[in-house]
Amino acid sequence: MEKEYVLRVLQKKRLFRYGGRQDQSEAYALEQMYKERTNVKHGLAVNAGTSALISALIGAGVGPGDEVIIPSYTYIATATAVLIARAVPVIVEVDDSLTMDPQAFEAAITTYTKAVIPVHMRGVPCQMDEILAIADKASLTVIEDVAQANGGSYKGRALGSLGHAGCLSFQQYKLVTAGEGGMLLTSDDSIYARASIYHDSAFTFWGNNRFARWGTESSVDFDPFPGENYRMSELNAALAMAQSQRIDSLVDRLQRLKGRIVEGIRDIPNIRLQRIPDPAGDVSYSLVFYLPTVAQAQRFSSELQQEGIPNGTIDNNGFADRHIYKNWTYVMNKVAISDKDNPWTNEHYKGHVEYAPDMCPRTLDWLSRAISVSLHQSMTDEDADDLIEAVRKVAATI
């Protein structure tokens, strides 16, 4: 299917989405697909998940002087997006779900807090009821980071559709990939209009009234302001379209496999399964469980490896995992693009945030005792049963 979609682009001799009729654009078609999938009003195709996050933050009016709350376990791009928007990232604990702890989020809110980015980490939906209630009370913008959870849901609603905006990634290592690419989802006209202008430095020049011309259904009109070039190419859009045709069947298969494995190991003493806020919405490409101590986790991982089961302890991978806050070197050291353009020292910022490697001890405790096993669509029931047998065998020796 991928070849068919890519060849269609080449045959049209159109790699740029604004090079002809909008209804013949692959990027436009991808936006329509995800609008329908997630039941939101607007979709904006961009060149990366990070670009989607930055565009969403700019769309929400986040800028110098603002703080944005993010979890301590997420890819560094979440923090980077906040810094590119010239705001200050405030890092809070995750809990046994390995997603943002709602209580930690609430405790971190200050008068400078503008937004929060809950991250549906490793395909696991965040505790969105609690997060949305806290954000609503404090009048904060909620931007969901769905980079690792495309196809997931929370209580029947698609991830990315619960907050004010949601950001997908189609990067190489995602369940649905185009090599690179992203998508901003929102039902907020203002966020969409501002993000559209920001994602394309010439956006407002493709027509006198670009929103009306391309039928974007936005009721908000803005004067032009400087933007980036985050547009998605037609080739990337075509690949994402082809891949997205299979997303539901992939998630269904992964959920069935993970369910089989969980049922086979849930009764093992001294193993604690990762808590999933909504199991029905888990994308299910990752199995995580915890051991009582760090030493037991490291031993368990090693012995499981010897049984032929690839795995890892999340906080002991032999390299600086950029998903763990303590390894975000330039964030920890407050290094910005320029000394003259530093969000922490900007004249508009009146708050004070400090970082330290041990600032989120509960996060580090969960991560250091965690065993992670990747699941994939090529796994068979026999593979799942082999995994169950191996985990039970190793657990009997710990």
The answer, yes or no, to whether residue 344 has pLDDT greater than 80, is: yes
Average pLDDT over residues 338-364: 96
Average pLDDT over residues 235-261: 94
Specify the range with the lowest mean pLDDT, choosing from 2-6, 40-44, 366-370, 382-386.
2-6
- Residue 4's alpha-carbon distances to 7, 203, 338, in angstroms, are 5, 30, 45
The answer, yes or no, to whether residue 210 has pLDDT greater than 60, is: no
The answer, yes or no, to whether residue 213 has pLDDT greater than 70, is: no
Amino acid at 343: P
* CB 211 within 8 Å of CB 182: no
110-136 tens-digit pLDDT: 999 999 999 999 999 999 999 999 999
Instruction: Name the helix (H) or strand (E) containing 368.
Output: helix 361-368
Q: Tell me the fold of 2-246.
A: Aspartate Aminotransferase; domain 2 (3.40.640)
Instruction: Tell me what percent of the residues of the chain surpass a pLDDT of 90.
Output: 80
pLDDT at 15: 77
Amino acid at 43: G
Bridge partners of residue 166, in order along the sequence: 144, 185
Query: Of 33, 376, 17, which is closest to residue 229 (Cα–Cα)?
Result: 17
pLDDT at 33: 96
Average pLDDT over residues 340-351: 96
Query: Which residue's entry shows tokens 């299917």?
Result: 1
Q: Distance between terminal CA atoms of the chain?
A: 47
Q: Where in the chain is the domain with CATH 3.40.640.10?
A: 2-246
Average pLDDT over residues 99-118: 98
The answer, yes or no, to whether residue 219 has pLDDT greater than 60, is: no
Average pLDDT over residues 286-314: 94
Long-range CB pairs of 103-112 (<8 Å, 24+ gap) are 105/69, 105/131, 105/134, 106/134, 108/69, 109/69, 109/134, 109/138, 109/140, 110/67, 110/351, 111/351, 112/65, 112/66, 112/67, 112/88, 112/349, 112/350, 112/351
The CATH superfamily label for domain 247-321+360-395 reads Aspartate Aminotransferase, domain 1 (3.90.1150.10)
Paired tokens of 231? 């547009």
Paired tokens of 218? 């936005």
* CB 60 within 8 Å of CB 135: no
Question: Based on C-alpha coordinates, what's the Rg of the chain?
Answer: 22
The answer, yes or no, to whether residue 271 has pLDDT greater than 70, is: yes
* CB 331 within 8 Å of CB 79: yes
The residue length of the chain stands at 398
The answer, yes or no, to whether residue 211 has pLDDT greater than 80, is: no
Q: Are strands 153-154 and 157-158 parallel, antiparallel or unpaired?
A: antiparallel
Distance CA 277, CA 254 (A): 17
Residue ranges of alpha helices (H) inside 60-151 are 76-84, 102-107, 128-137
The answer, yes or no, to whether residue 149 has pLDDT greater than 80, is: yes
Bridge partners of residue 90, in order along the sequence: 69
Distance CA 272, CA 268 (A): 9
Q: Where in the chain is the domain with CATH 3.90.1150.10?
A: 247-321+360-395
55-81 tens-digit pLDDT: 999 999 999 999 999 999 999 999 999
| From 35, 114, 174, 258, the catalytic residue | 174
Paired tokens of 223? 């004067």
Per-residue exposure over 205-219, b if at least 16 CB sit within 10 Å of its own CB, e if not: eeeeebbeebebebe
Instruction: Name the helix (H) or strand (E) containing 312.
Output: strand 312-313
What DSSP character marks residue 338?
B
Active site residue 174: yes
> How many C-beta atoms lie closer than 10 Å to residue 173's C-beta?
8
